[in-house]
Chain A
Amino acid sequence: MKGFLRQDGRKGIRNITAVVYLVECAHHVAREIVFPFRDQQVHLIGFPGCYPNSYAYRMVRQLCTHPNVGAALLVSLGCEGFNRAALLEEIRASGRPADAIVIQQEGGTRKTIAEGHRWIRAALEQLAATPTTEMGVSDLIIGTVCGGSDATSGITANPAVGRAFDRLIAEGAGAIFEETGELIGCEAIMAARAARPELAPELLACVDKAARYYTALGHGSFAPGNAEGGLTTQEEKSMGAYCKSGNSPIDGILKPGDVPDRGGLYLLDVVPDGEVRWGFPNISDVQEIGELIACGSHITLFTTGRGSVVGSAISPVIKICANPETYRRLSDDMDINAGKILEGEATLEEVGNEIYAKILAVAAGAQTASEALGHQECSIVYKSFEPTGPACMPA
């Protein structure tokens, strides 16, 4: 397959122009800048808060310098706390064309939108000449998330993703699974899969952190629809979610924005460090997808039993439906029907291979269902993390 070669050496599967609002007050203007170009790989991302936050800064920087992104336009109101000068400098240092428009300096909504359109037209011309390069499975990073889970998720779609993960990892790809709050109850069996002895206590510690965090909030990562779909407890949901990780050894723990520098299997720790602040770690599935992408995911595998329809800005989302009844209702939104396993029409291995083949097709340019439907969700919230510890990453 062919990839887009960035000046920093990273290889992308899409050639996206990111338009970034740096505070909610600039959101409308940024959306209007994107609108006429929304079918030309121009994506809207941003952070709504006015108060600066180093996690949010890192998220936005990692998205703007993601291998799928070729250029970035920052849209600032002018008075918000986001450090736009530093961000602009870092994006430009990665070799990507980047600029910032400040609404207060540009002369308001209309003039900023017009200037944004002019900038995008020039950027699209520049991006059309992006060099391509040969890309293999070992160049890919694939993330996985489950959302709208039911009791079929953990017996069809999730273990099928696990099969695809094992195959990708054996071929040198990076694979990331996440949501430590949805691994509560699985910590011991997960720690037994640590690739290095010093990683095992770290795996236990990050699930313990998640349990403490959710206990303080008085609410686990468990939605009413999960129970309607047959799940009863956090542990049961966790075991189902855990199957997505497959059977390979666990090579490391990432925090949002950490990009693995080699292949292997990684757990993404999404629960903030320190005291409980700013509410739930991730307020919906959309933040989790964004964090997987900030860790370099070229594609995200999203499994659902109840039936989520979300996609994402920056990286394609492949939706794998676990429940055959849901698939019949929402088939337009789904890429893969893993529910057929329950109806005896395919085995886990066959669906795992189907997922693997879909990853290669999407990496080569095929649109996913959510891409074709125009889904470009992005949401970044306040969080705080300490730097990733040395025991968490391979030496």
Chain B
Amino acid sequence: MNTSSPQLLRLHEADNVLTVLSTLEPGDALHLGQTVLTVGKRLPIGHKVAARPIAAGEKICKYGVPIGSAVCAIAEGEHVHTHNIKSDYLPTFERENQHSYFQPTP
């Protein structure tokens, strides 16, 4: 395991996202190498932040392999989640869009 900081875990050198190792609350300092940012929204354990600025359409890389694509530009340190990345295979289902999923086909 190659830990880039005690807060964040880099699983592979090619990765452009880092995993949050313990839940970070708003106002906590977020250490990204030399850069220190402030946590805006809560970042629960296991969630990801951008290791560097990521362009719209760029592959998101974790474990050294693509896990999806950015749907918009993502800033360094920003939460990388279902709102700004998408699968290259199958759409991701969340409870919020459950209603549309179960809507009867016209």
Most A C-beta atoms less than 10 A away, residue of B46, B66, B95: B46
Interface presence of A273 (CB below 8 A): no
Q: How far is the CA of A154 from the CA of B92 in the complex (A)?
A: 18
Contact B88–A227 (Cβ < 8 Å): no
Q: How far is the CA of A212 from the CA of B105 in the complex (A)?
A: 21
- Tally A-B pairs: CB < 8 A: 109
Contact A155–B11 (Cβ < 8 Å): yes
Interface presence of B56 (CB below 8 A): no
Interface presence of B67 (CB below 8 A): yes
Q: How many residues of B contact A (CB 8 A)?
A: 36
Contact A214–B90 (Cβ < 8 Å): yes
Contact B89–A342 (Cβ < 8 Å): no
Contact A220–B90 (Cβ < 8 Å): yes
Q: How far is the CA of A346 from the CA of B80 in the complex (A)?
A: 28
Q: Which of A243-288 contact B (CB under 8 A)?
A: none
Contact A234–B47 (Cβ < 8 Å): no
Contact A222–B65 (Cβ < 8 Å): no
Chain A, residue nearest B88 (CB): A235
Contact A211–B85 (Cβ < 8 Å): no
Q: How far is the CA of A358 from the CA of B85 in the complex (A)?
A: 39
Which chain B positions have C-beta within 8 A of A379?
Answer: none
Contact B19–A233 (Cβ < 8 Å): no
Q: How far is the CA of A214 from the CA of B45 in the complex (A)?
A: 29
Chain A, residue nearest B81 (CB): A232
Interface presence of A229 (CB below 8 A): yes
Interface presence of B38 (CB below 8 A): no
Contact B65–A234 (Cβ < 8 Å): no
Which chain B positions have C-beta within 8 A of A342?
Answer: 21-22, 45
Q: Which of B1-29 contact A (CB under 8 A)?
A: 1, 9, 11, 19-23
Residues of chain A having any CB pair with chain B under 8 Å = 150-152, 154-155, 184-186, 189, 211, 214-215, 218-220, 222-224, 227-236, 239-240, 305, 323-325, 342-343, 348
In the assembled complex, 15 residue pairs joining A and B whose CB atoms fall closer than 8 Å, in A order, are A151-B48, A154-B63, A185-B66, A215-B90, A219-B93, A222-B92, A227-B92, A232-B87, A233-B92, A234-B87, A235-B88, A236-B68, A325-B23, A325-B45, A342-B22
Using A155-B19, A230-B81 as known contacts, list a sample of 7 further A-B pairs with CB atoms less than 8 Å apart, ordered by residue number in A: A185-B89, A227-B82, A229-B44, A230-B19, A230-B48, A233-B86, A235-B66
